[in-house]
Homo-oligomer: A and B are copies of this chain.
């Protein structure tokens, strides 16, 4: 077992002062004479003492940790390259402000339970609406949150133009004459209110695709939507399965790059040439997208910036800022080698 931790009392005793003085030496040196402060700190060093962070968190009512709330377990979350970029952005703020960032995943299946147990000061909520059943209690408890990729009313939110980006991607393929477009979507946490089947990021991206179909006078075939895990392997599996099921698409719209890259890999395996036999457009523009072979056409969104902004807003909120802000960042279609360029007109 861990060695009994040195406490403030032991330091106080050995230095011949009160615990208060020791606390002051660490947090408020101007309250005591420089001489005493130095003596205390030297005793503390000698004993290997430093204030117990948990006791500190208890009294200060803050942990110095930002939670990033995700609806998937930890290993799934880190299997999605999106999160690395996002955490980079969140991390840049944390680095500046001397904070940490903790990924908070469902606790034994329950996201709400996870939020009850996590030692964090506030949450960046990823991919869930403020109204979601798991989020609502946070609001009630007055815990600061910022919603990313979801709808919020009373708290700050950061979104990108998912619908517009998706629309552009679909239009590009439709304009090139594709009709058999397979859509690869990620699994969505069940919506808490069933107004619409799809919601959140996924919903907005699908809505963009759908609008593009409509604008081209085409029916949107829901049975040409397949679900996939949000990872490279997931995309590979989903496309292979679809192929086995008899789908013979000439183009793919994937809701994330990870899945799109998985499709690329599956296609190669099936002997399909991208883009000749199959054009593919992803979503996100993760750093990997430019490196794949062929490089991936995709809808760019500023992931790192999104994380940075979300963290910034949360930090403001933590500092007592009550006014919610609503940020929307642009997306843009980036054509690389997994598609042909637009037809000339």
Interface residues of A (CB under 8 A from B): 1-3, 5, 48, 50-51, 53-55, 57-58, 61, 63-65, 73-75, 77-79, 81, 83-85, 87-92, 94-95, 98, 100-105, 107-108, 116-119, 137, 140-144, 232, 261, 264-265, 287-288, 291-295, 320
Show 17 residue pairs from A and B whose CB-CB distance is below 8 angstroms, ordered by the A residue: A2-B142, A2-B143, A48-B140, A48-B141, A50-B116, A54-B57, A54-B63, A74-B101, A78-B87, A91-B105, A100-B103, A102-B102, A288-B291, A291-B291, A291-B292, A293-B294, A293-B295
Contact A119 B63 (CB under 8 A): yes
Contact B144 A2 (CB under 8 A): yes
Contact B116 A95 (CB under 8 A): no
Q: How many copies does the complex hold?
A: 2
What's the nearest-Cβ distance from chain B to residue A9, in Å?
Answer: 16
Contact A141 B65 (CB under 8 A): no
Docked complex Cα distance between A264 and B53 (Å): 45
Contact A117 B73 (CB under 8 A): no
Complex partner residue of A118 from B81, B100, B105, CB under 8 angstroms = B100
Contact A3 B142 (CB under 8 A): yes
Complex partner residue of A119 from B54, B92, B144, CB under 8 angstroms = B54
Interface centre among A51, A57, A108, A232 (most CB of B within 10 A): A57
> A57-B54, A65-B102 given as contacts; is B73 within 8 A of A91 (CB)?
yes
